[in-house]
Structure 1
């Protein structure tokens, strides 16, 4: 009756795992990043439309505004899709909506763990944990963590990685 893993390849989130969510404040960080870029684009299109009066710029302005609104909706859903789970021998990181991605990083394969926080992340008291392995394709990151949790995760993963590497 109970499955130990996913029920199909299209459902990659194992239900037997206790997923830790990322902070919902990551939504604000991502929306503000989007707003900065969209603000420049919308202002440029609006000024160009006002100067030239050419209808195509008005159409592009409306299209950009609609796409920006859709992207905000997608950001909210995407942040809710992020999660991570610590298991005995590996770390699981999930994310993605349209294309779901589940990264499984064995502790013994980790080369180093990095914690970073840009100015916008620091303004919202967030940090990102980046995991590096020998295979670049297996690198994973967990954004939207509180600094204390990011430090705890970094220290735990580093210790587990060293313990597992000694056994090789």
Structure 2
């Protein structure tokens, strides 16, 4: 690992389970609809659509571990830096003084695994960032730390 990358923190590897379960549910719904249309209405195209959706979903599921490993965040002096993506990479810096809300959300699968998502909302809606798959204790600690940093930075404005 490069010295520059040393401060980057990754999300929990258990987050892969959350993503795979979500993908499997989505695949089951869309493939199921395609199969219902095929069997009830005898529409051949619906079978091919269901097969295409299943294949695309399986490929997506195979890439989930690498995609989850690409999700990272880093606390710097004046902002939180967040990056994700394999092919299409996104990197966002959220200044502490611009944070208006730091929110923790937990879906049923994430809750069962002890994970949470931390969402930062700023005045500009386009800069809302969610760091998924954090262990609950880390999400609580990070939320408290970011709220304190945001308060001190806003007080200095």
Tell me the TM-score normalized by structure 2. 0.88
Determine helix, strand or coil for the equivalent of 1:15: helix
5 Å-filtered alignment, 1:15-94, equals 15=4, 18-51=7-40, 54-94=43-83
Q: Deviations over 1:60-115 (max 9, x none)?
A: 23212211111112332221110000111111010122321111111111112111
Structure 2: how far apart are the matches of 1:151 and 1:143? 13
Q: Deviations over 1:124-147 (max 9, x none)?
A: 211011111112122211100011
**Alignment-derived partner of residue 97 in structure 1:** 86
Structure 2 stretches lacking a partner, 5+ long: none
- What is the Cα deviation at residue 59 of structure 1? 2.1
Q: Secondary structure at the match of 2:101?
A: strand
Unaligned ranges ≥5, structure 1: 1-13
Quote the residue 2:110 is aligned against.
Answer: 121
CA–CA distance in 2 between the matches of 1:25 and 1:110? 28
Q: Measure how far apart 1:23 and its partner are.
A: 0.9
Q: Which has the higher helix share?
A: 2
How many residues are aligned here? Answer: 155
Separation (CA, whole Å) in 2 of partners of 1:86 and 1:155? 13
Please report the RMSD computed on the Cα atoms of aligned residues, expressed in angstroms. 1.9
Cα 1:61–1:112 shift into 2, 3 Å: closer
Q: Please, which of 121, 129, 142 is the counterpart of residue 140 of structure 1?
A: 129
TM-score, normalised to structure 1, is 0.83
**C-alpha distance 17-166 of structure 1, shift in aligned 2 (>3 A):** farther
Aligned partner of 1:150 in structure 2 is 139
C-alpha separation between the residues in 2 aligned to 1:156 and 1:54? 56
